[in-house]
Amino acid sequence: MTQKTKHFYMWAGVGAAVLVAAGLVIYQADDYKQGEELVSIEGILSTIKNGFHGSAGDLKTYQNQDLGFSFQYPSKLSPAEKSGVVELSHQIPYQNHGDCDMKGDEQTYDNLTDFKASFQIYNGTAAQAARKMSPYLPAENFSGDTLKISPGFIDKYQVGNLTGFSIYEGVEGCGHTVYYFPVSGNRVLVAENMMVQALSGIFSDMREKEILAIPGAISRQENRQILEQILSSVKFTDPSSLSPSIELDTNNWKIYRNEEYGFEFKYPGDWKIRPEGNVITLTTPQYDFNMTSEPGQGKILVMVLDNLKSLSIQDWLTQSPDFLSQSEAIKINTEAEKNSWPGVGYDQQSVVMGGKTALKQNLDGEGGSNLNLIVPIGNKIMVVSLVSDYQLSHVQSLVDTFNLIISTFEFSR
């Protein structure tokens, strides 16, 4: 393959994608063959990593192994946990009648809560979570086990690596917005953000100015920004472990054997397989090359590429025009931080594949996801790549199948 400049993808500005410099691509098997110039890009794999404005000293990290997630939050917020619900809040000294004056509560409080958000994990689908959290929702807001969009009430919502729904439940500056984000393992992250009526804009500007003049007060604009920054930093238990998280039935699996390169592996019997030269393409039954597939659909590419100088994996990645090394990812993210661009989501670790030491790369972003297993075989490099149009946290069953396929690899040389 002729040497080419690496490409990576970052977004700058509003509503426009800017292609900037190097290395994060997924290949269309039809277009990727050694000796050809064309490399087809299937999806943007940069993980949006919106950082907090301020120094690292302004942030704390909350982590809960039982709930299976962690996130960063500004140190001025106070965390609390009860019955599986994590709450972050902030108060300022200001006499008030509670978060909603329309309650008719004559009690006076010395402190005003100007930020309150909660986070919890619900086992089930987003629609099931919404039925439980918002039981008043009429049947017309559901289509089977899916929420139906109702602009201004139920909206699609995406922030960082999370994609889901937001439901506004309030009136006259009272109430809250609830966010539902499906994640791996048939779970949903449910986030709730309380509205602060005193800062909602329904009262006089003078009252709002009086509150915001108090040192440390959080405006409604900052309230929203803080919530989005917290959600952008959420990390879940790694869905890309090489050990499948569930038991899969492999009784009907078939065996693919390649005598030329000396390897074999098993794959689900209902998957389609297409060997073409140095690329073997495996696709789920309903995968469509020409359009975005459903979350459970995807493909796996097994690519055998030249490594004539018998380079190490890291050296090969550095010289490859088409794959990203860790050092390149660091350079990209450093440049991105300087220019306030989203960085490249990248994680790697050494694993064992068919008795050989391999490198596992995890690339996960809004434009799709990619799991790479990279292993030297003689004067070649094998790259086994899972390709999905969705983030890994949304395609756990596909990740499980990929991991099990990887565990069946055997090499004869």
My answer on whether 134 and 244 are in the same domain is: no
Which domain, by its residues, includes 167?
A: 56-232
Task: List the chain pLDDT tens, one digit each, 413 residues.
Answer: 333 334 333 222 222 232 223 333 333 333 333 333 322 223 223 222 333 333 334 889 998 877 788 899 999 999 998 888 999 999 999 988 776 765 555 688 888 889 999 999 988 888 888 888 888 888 888 877 677 888 888 888 888 778 888 998 877 667 889 999 887 667 889 999 998 877 876 666 778 888 899 999 998 889 989 999 999 888 876 444 444 444 566 788 999 999 999 999 999 999 999 999 999 999 998 887 766 556 668 899 999 999 999 888 988 998 888 888 877 877 877 887 787 776 666 777 777 888 888 888 887 665 677 889 999 998 999 999 998 877 776 777 888 889 889 989 999 88
pLDDT of residue 145: 66
Residues 272 and 407 placed together within one structural domain of the fold: yes
Structure tokens of 55?
């120094």
Q: Are the C-beta atoms of 78 and 90 separated by less than 8 Å?
A: yes
Distance, CA of 43 to CA of 388 (rounded, Å): 9
Alpha-carbon distance values, 133 to 153, 187, 216, 224 (Å)? 15, 14, 32, 21
User: Does 40 lie in the same domain as 147?
Assistant: no
Exposure letters 297-328 (e unless 16+ CB within 10 A, then b): bbbbbbbbbebeeebebeebbbebebbbbeeb
Say if 227 falls within a structural domain: yes
User: Looking at the domain assignment, is residue 4 inside a domain?
Assistant: no
SS3 of residue 176 by DSSP:
strand
Q: Are residues 13 and 86 in the same domain?
A: no
Looking at the structure, do residues 167 and 255 belong to the same domain, yes or no? no
> Do residues 45 and 377 make contact, with C-beta atoms less than 8 angstroms apart?
no
Amino acid code (one letter) for 68: G
Picking from 232, 254, 278, the residue at the C-terminal end of a domain is: 232
In a 3-state reduction of DSSP, which class is residue 134? coil
Asked whether residue 102 falls in the same domain as residue 149, the answer is: yes
Three-class DSSP category at 138: coil
pLDDT for position 246: 46
Q: Does residue 324 belong to any structural domain of this protein?
A: yes
Same domain, 121 and 170: yes
Q: Specify the number of domains making up the chain.
A: 2
Residue 138, domain CATH: 3.40.1000
Give the domain CATH number at 395. Answer: 3.40.1000.10
Residue 1 lies in a domain: no
Residue 270 is assigned to a structural domain of this protein: yes
Number of residues in the chain:
413
**For the stretch 193-219, what's the b/e string if a residue is b when 16 or more beta carbons lie within 10 angstroms of its beta carbon?**
bbbbbbbbeeeeeeebeebeeeeebbe
pTM attached to this predicted model: 0.48
User: Is 354 part of any domain?
Assistant: yes
Q: Do 224 and 250 belong together in one domain?
A: no
In a shared domain, residues 92 and 179:
yes
121 and 23 share one domain: no
| Collapsed DSSP state (helix, strand, coil) of residue 47 | coil
Question: Residue 17 domain-assigned?
Answer: yes
Pair (68, 170) in one structural domain:
yes
Instruction: Based on the fold, state whether residues 202 and 77 are members of the same structural domain.
Output: yes
- In-domain check, residue 261: yes
Retrieve residue 307's tokens: 């490594």
Give the residue from 198, 232, 266 where a domain finishes: 232
* Domain final residue, candidates 232, 254, 288: 232
